[in-house]
Amino acid sequence: AQRVTQPEKLLSVFKGAPVELKCNYSYSGSPELFWYVQYSRQRLQLLLRHISRESIKGFTADLNKGETSFHLKKPFAQEEDSAMYYCALVMNRDDKIIFGKGTRLHILP
Amino acid sequence: ETGVTQSPTHLIKTRGQQVTLRCSSQSGHNTVSWYQQALGQGPQFIFQYYREEENGRGNFPPRFSGLQFPNYSSELNVNALELDDSALYLCASSPPGQASLEAFFGQGTRLTVV
């Protein structure tokens, strides 16, 4: 079955340090991968998607099909990055979004 | 342009009761999906509606049902509520042709079943 795994429930990182949120998926086809973010008291929103190959708020994510991973990275953490991050997979555009359980990122001052 | 809005924001129901949750999709969006997010979990897909028809369903029992109206707003109905139905229910709308590739979420309805 298709699955998204985020091994860390909580990740605490000092301000200015690099951030890496891990995400692995299981799917035999070619999925679309996403990162969603939920800031405190705000709605779930799309952060970035691999097909766009973009950098949003300094975050990037590279799809590694060999390792079936889509880790989220940022070279220098900022306090406003503290939030809940969800890795997600879509098999085709009309299908459901499969979410991981999420990682809470806590940026320490 | 208004975003996705859900009502009510919070709700408390008794086991065995029925509940209806509502969602207004973002302007121009014709696809609506519903997700259940239990505490400490990621959102789980319940079903999707496109042009007033169910267009995909997750692993939820038939007592979870939905509707989509001509203006693309949607309702989620849950019958015979169980304690495990307590969760945050999220609605997401998508523009034509994009569906799950570009989903915009509402703020959610927090349902507590006692």
Q: What is the pLDDT along chain A (109 residues), one digit of tens a residue?
A: 789 999 999 999 999 999 999 999 998 788 889 999 999 999 999 999 987 778 889 999 988 989 999 999 999 999 999 999 999 998 876 678 999 999 999 999 9
CB contacts of A85 in chain B (<8 Å) are none
**Facing residue for A97 by CB, picked from B55, B97, B103:** B103
CB contact under 8 A, A99 and B43: yes
Tens-digit pLDDT profile for residues B34-60:
999 999 999 999 999 998 999 899 999
pLDDT at A24: 97
Smallest CA–CA distance, residue B79 to chain A, in Å, is 23
- Using a CB-CB cut-off of 8 Å, the residues of chain B touching A90 are 100-101
Q: Which residues of A touch B56 (CB under 8 A)?
A: 94-96
For chain A, say whether B58 makes contact (Cβ under 8 Å).
yes
- Neighboring chain B residues of A43 at a CB cutoff of 8 Å: 3-4, 105-108
- Please determine, for residue B88, whether its predicted confidence score (pLDDT) is greater than 90: yes
pLDDT above 90: residue B28: no
Residue B96 pLDDT class (50, 70, 90 cuts): confident
- pLDDT exceeds cutoff 70 at B107: yes
Q: Which residues contact B4 (CB under 8 A, 6 or more apart)?
A: A43, B23, B24, B25, B26, B29, B91, B92, B93, B104, B105, B106
- Give exposure, A56-82, as e/b (b: 16+ Cβ within 10 Å): eeebbbebeeeebbbbbebeebeeebb
Average pLDDT rounded to a whole number, residues B14-32: 94
∠ CA B61-A100-B97 to the nearest 5 degrees?
Answer: 75
